[in-house]
Amino acid sequence: MVIDNETFKTFRKIGKILAMRGLNTSHSGNISMLSGGKIIIKKRAAMLGWLEPEDLIEAPLDYDDSSVILASSELGVHRAIYQQTDAMAVIHAHTPYLTALSLIEDDITCIDAEGLFLYKKIPVVECDIPIGPTEASILVPEKLKDYPCCVVRSHGAFARGTILEDALSVMTGCEQSARIRYLTMLSGKPLKRDYSKDKNLDLW
């Protein structure tokens, strides 16, 4: 299977941006997209910020074949997201601020203007085994039906989009909102005005 050059260039660009922004370790995280009824996904243990053409794997949407041995360990979660939502692209990243807040909150409510407008809040799901598709493939798609991004407690975030650039925008935007929330909490000072309460985001 040969991935066309434009698709590879998109994967390489997205992977490099995620790495440069510190949203993954050298080898963590994975990205995928639907193409021709199949999933194109990063190869297991490939360095997301320095992808080569051979680091992309094409896997079936509905069944396993020999490609799953090489594909990312999170293939099952990506597959379930595609099967249960309208996503055409998925990014999984080990986002520091979203992950940190997932350890102390059940939903990460945005308090910055852009986050309030675009995302409202980022739900948190809890798995007994956070890494891998065992529970995440059940819990994550359920959240992504209604939200563009969710976080697996202690592990990292999943974002969906119509194209990879959309999913990247969601991932970086939600992480920015989480960073602002974290830094505000760190100050120990109360908000002058909590716009999330004005908008009743706890009901979303």
Model pTM score: 0.92
pLDDT at 198 over 80: no
Please tell me the class of the 5-203 domain.
Answer: alpha beta
pLDDT at 71 over 80: no
> Looking at residue 202, what is its pLDDT?
66
The per-residue b/e assignment along 101-132, b for 16 or more CB within 10 angstroms, e otherwise, is bbeebebbbbbbeebbebbbbbbbbebeebee
**What are the pLDDT digits (tens) for 126-157?**
998 877 667 899 999 999 999 999 999 999 99
Return the residue matching tokens 């194209």.
163
> Looking at residue 164, what is its pLDDT?
97
Q: What is the spatial distance between Cα 151 and Cα 136, in angstroms, rounded to a whole number? A: 10
H-helix or E-strand spanning residue 181: helix 164-187
**What are the pLDDT digits (tens) for 113-129?**
999 999 999 999 999 88
Mean pLDDT of the chain: 91
pLDDT at 32 over 70: yes
Determine contact, residues 14/165, Cβ cutoff 8 Å: yes
Determine contact, residues 144/160, Cβ cutoff 8 Å: yes
All structural domains of the chain with their residue ranges = 5-203
